[in-house]
Structure 1
Amino acid sequence: MSQASTASNATSARERLLIVCPGRGTYNAPEWGTLARHAAGTEWLARFDAQRRKAGMPSLSELDGEIPFRQSLHGRGEHASPLIYACALADMLAIDPERYEVVAVTGNSMGWYIALAGGGALGYEDAHHLIGTMGQMMQETLVGGQVLYPWVDEQWRPQWSLRRDLLALVDQLHGEQGAQLFLSIDLGGMLVFGGNEAGLARLAEALPPQERFPMRLHQHSAFHTPLQQEVREAARKRLTDGPFQAPRLPLIDGRGHIWSPWSSDPHALWDYTLGEQLVAPYDFTTALRVGVREFAPDRIVIPGPGATLGGATAQALIQLGWKGLDSKKTFQARQAEDPCLISMGIPAQREWLLR
């Protein structure tokens, strides 16, 4: 057999991966130090740190390794977002390209910005600038907030009537006594609602208490709702479409739309990212469905930090019946035997993918 044939067979034997980038809220106290472990001494992190020092902010290396973790500091948008991006980037760069082929990239909410870097639509430093700028703008305005509520049962099986009731409740409360409420993110077996304080207060009163839920998300604005219109307009003036380019890998956005390397208009990609994406619901479940059905991955990979997106992703896969998954029990059994969902924030699972 020729060397060319051998190389071709090795390439075709690579496992196909769908990358799902994490959103806000995934870097917390347990994740402090992740960046130091996975990216210390890299040239790209040094450049990120230099960008932040020039802007008068603590570097990511300092936040991750020298400044003790405080939620009030590390959870702020201008710090949390770049930290999450840098940790996720370190994980994506660590995947062994000889054993794995990334066939598409998507993400949850802020994870869309990370996907732009992972898929090659933005350079690493340009993505860092975008993510840091958007995180700071969101923090400075901090309009409204988000509430998380599940609609699946204990086995993560969908309860469609409950979902319909929750969406109807939000429609009913919106506009009453100054309440503004919207669907923010369709997140697997959970719905994230965004609104103003009056709306969130009325929603919290109306939702049946369920263990930790309804859960108010710390230092989160009303992302992906019309309440972000002011941020949208400011961002479009501040961030130009210059750095955007056609992606190197297919990207799946928060509508389930595929941005192909062969046909994507960079200006249209900028327009969506700093337009509809900011003020309309982000449908993570649909993005995942498109990724699974259109690209037929062998495994789904969630870069770190943390592993909080794993549950929502598994719930969405159960709704799809992917690889025979129909409950939390079957998912856990499958994971124990041969993981189809790999969270790189879990050290043992991260090892699967390393060079």
Structure 2
Amino acid sequence: MPVEDYGVWKALPVHYEVEDRYEDPKSPHLSLYYHDNYGTEPQFDVRYRQKHIHKPSKRKSPQDIPGLFRAAINIKSTDRDSRLAYWVNYTLGDHPIVQNLANLDFGFHDIHKVKDSCLDYIRSDLFDTKKGRLLPHDIDGPNNDMIDVLVPEIKKSIDEQAEIYIFGSRFNSRDGIHDVHMNQGNIEKFRRDDGTFQDGGLLIHYKETGQWTGVFLAFASQAIHTDDKDGHAISCLTWGKFLPTEFVENSVAIKEAVVKKQKSVTLTNLTNRRVSLASWKLHNSAGQAQELPASAVLNPMSSGGFEVSNLHFSNNGDIITLVNEEGLKVDGVSYNSQQGNMEGRPIVFAH
């Protein structure tokens, strides 16, 4: 059966909290707190909950803040592929759906009252599917995980006192909403939740400028083709297979290098997914390159050393650059003449 109590909540955002890899490595969420009393300033205390930054979470307190509703937004999947697909459309104001939404009263509206305004990632033409990004939950480096891309959008909506439209399934307690993501094409475990025109998402209306922004999330394991009746997968093509794997700088880092005699480079996978390094290359500043072995691979959050006997490194200092199979830079480091003359000892690079 489809997700229960599906609808849209028109509200005003006032606060958010996000769980990083230390607080919840398994099923983290971004909690967006909001109210729906337009013109009334809510009374709440954000100190009601104390976060444990960079420590394993030991809190047993509830996740609610008295006086506010909460949207629980998934930022990691519990599937084998834990990445999420992420799309943002900054020109959603051109879509006919916004005219229906703008006339809604503040509060929650179930599917029967907003039938013409429900979301469907496959059938509603809400965004360009090819422009999505596959992102892990929380890894080192800028603009390369779900926290990096989602928090700025949420923060801006709060700072600019925007109106938000949260699509998903209302809690049984009616004090918030979840399933703020695609709700069709699920793996067998969650197939019962499949349905058409019941996808979750976040639409943001900046009243002063008139801009509408849409933020849309799906699990990498969800199918991109579903049947029109039940929303069940009708092909094995998933977002994880459809969207190109994106390697930005800092996804794989050059950790160490031995530049004299038995030359080698140690690479570290900073992501939580297995990375094949076939056809990747290491370059020096002279433009010379050596390709990594076809069998080269790094498991999630692991390191591996690779011999580079055919690549010349200058004792006077050099630059080592790592590029992927498409020739795009993934990481780069440099060392000076003092480091270049260390006999057989690895140069350790800080990131």
Tell me, yes or no, whether TM beats 0.5: no
Q: Whose strand proportion is higher, 1 or 2?
A: 2
Q: TM-score, structure 2 length as denominator?
A: 0.29
Report the structure number with the largest CA radius of gyration: 2
Q: Whose helix proportion is higher, 1 or 2?
A: 1
